[in-house]
Structure 1
Amino acid sequence: CGYCQPGQIMIAAALLAKNRKPSDEDIDNTMSRALCRCGTYQRIRRAIHRAAQEV
């Protein structure tokens, strides 16, 4: 729905700035601060892993 997207992007960018190869646990712990109404947490995790490959 896009409601949480800006916050998810900012948190993910901060995570990747500190940790270029985050584990699933790193991602889950960091992203737990942003609630997603759609429940797309697994897709968000995959997107962060893909973004980590690009940086």
Structure 2
Amino acid sequence: MEQGTLREGTDCHVVARECIAVSDGLQLQWVISGGGLDLAGAVHAHVDRIARTVFCDGSGL
């Protein structure tokens, strides 16, 4: 935020907690599916969505 990259008011701890929770959930789904879930693709898609909401310019990855 100090560098003007993140939107004002972004709570980085909350964003980090959400990313960890989604990652944990996706890993569990990957195990349950026997590796049938595109884990890397799902994590990438989530992080891209988060990036679009927290970056000032709205860009993703």
TM-score (norm 2): 0.35
Q: Which has the higher helix share?
A: 1
Bigger CA radius of gyration:
2
